[in-house]
Copies of this chain bind each other. A is one copy, B any other.
Amino acid sequence: MISNDDGIHAKGLAELVEVASEFGDVLVVAPNTARSGMSKAITVEVPVRIKKIHDGEHLESYSCTGTPVDCIKIALDKLVDRKPDLILSGINHGSNASVSVHYSGTMGAIIEACIHDVPAIGFSLCDYRPDADFSLMKDGMRQIISETLKNSLPTGTCLNVNAPMGTPKGIRVCRQGDGLWVNEFEKRTDPHNHDYYWITGYYQSLDNGSLDTDNHALAEGYISIVPTQIDMTNHQAIETLKKWNFQ
């Protein structure tokens, strides 16, 4: 099963379907329009609709008016009669490395899949252009899909895979890099003299020279894999906080 956050018509989705079809039958359930930066948002205020787009023997596809997470939820609840062998998302047009895992709709879908205990991989290419060239990362994708099907994944863990522009030098298993987006809003004034703000800004790495992060691997020209878990507890901090003074 496949979803994404750039929408059902994105080039990256078509390229992911192509690679996935080499491994088995494919069900696509993707947003009907671009839903970038939707994170793990769910649609609660309005209902969601789905529409069959394609009905082939080995490929079925639906568009959905909801978020990437809604796509996974509604597909698992209403469209399949068994758990898929694998859920993929992407290929995202743009990096989802480091802290971007939190805002990413691509990874939102994958974390939702992981919550439902299905092995899941999010793929992103560090190229935001609509006509980005995904061909150079496909060999790496095949290896990662193949090894995931063979070895499965630790419980509660999915994969955040990012590829650099150009021919990757290889594949590296990494930790999530440290960093943040800064200077994020650009102020403009509308014709009626009211201010409005566009989100923008740049990524600031806080890796301080660490060699084991996804951002470092990407900068060096490697595909990065971060094993990403749904348990967000800082387990070490539990003992620290237990010493706090509560009555």
Docked complex Cα distance between A8 and B78 (Å): 35
With A38-B41, A238-B227 known as contacts, the answer to whether A69 contacts B103 (CB < 8 A) is yes
Residues from chain B with a CB closer than 8 A to the CB of A34 are: 45
Contact A147 B244 (CB under 8 A): yes
Which residues of chain A from 230 to 247 have any CB-CB distance to chain B below 8 Å in the complex? 230-238, 240-242, 244-247
**Shortest Cβ distance from residue A111 to the other chain B in the assembled complex, whole angstroms:** 6
Q: Does A176 contact B (CB under 8 A)?
A: yes
With an 8 A cutoff between CB atoms, is A99 at the interface?
yes
- Could you tell me the distance in whole angstroms from the C-beta of A6 to the nearest C-beta in chain B? 12
Stretch in A9-17, A81-89, A181-189 touching the partner: A181-189
Contact B233 A229 (CB under 8 A): yes
Q: Is residue A37 within 8 Å, beta carbon to beta carbon, of the partner chain?
A: yes
A197 and B241: CB pair below 8 A? no
The interface residues of chain A, by DSSP majority, are classed as: mixed
A197 in contact with B101 (CB, 8 Å): no
Which residues of A90-104 are within 8 A (CB) of B? 99, 101-103
Contact indicator B194/A99 (Cβ below 8 Å) = no
A25 within 8 A of B: no
Q: Give every chain B residue within 8 A of A232 (Cβ-Cβ).
A: 101-102, 176, 226, 228-229, 232
Give the distance in Å from the alpha carbon of A192 to the alpha carbon of B103 in the complex.
36
In the complex, the answer to whether A108 meets B78 with C-beta atoms within 8 Å is no
Known contacts A73-B199, A173-B238, A241-B227; is-contact A44 B36 (Cβ 8 Å): yes
Asked if A40 and B244 sit within 8 Å, CB to CB, the answer is no
Q: Which of A102, A143, A226 is most buried by chain B, counting CB atoms within 10 A of its CB?
A: A102
Assuming the contacts A73-B185, A232-B101, asked whether A197 and B42 have C-beta atoms less than 8 A apart, the reply is no
A42 to B37, Cβ gap below 8 A?
Answer: yes
- Whether A126 sits at the interface, judged by CB under 8 Å, is no
Which residues of chain B are near A191, meaning CB under 8 Å? none
* The 9 A-B residue pairs with the shortest CB-CB distance in the complex, in nearest-first order: A227-B237, A229-B234, A39-B40, A47-B196, A39-B39, A37-B42, A41-B41, A227-B234, A171-B246
* 6 A-B residue pairings within 8 Å (CB atoms): A39-B108, A70-B199, A144-B246, A147-B246, A154-B240, A175-B233
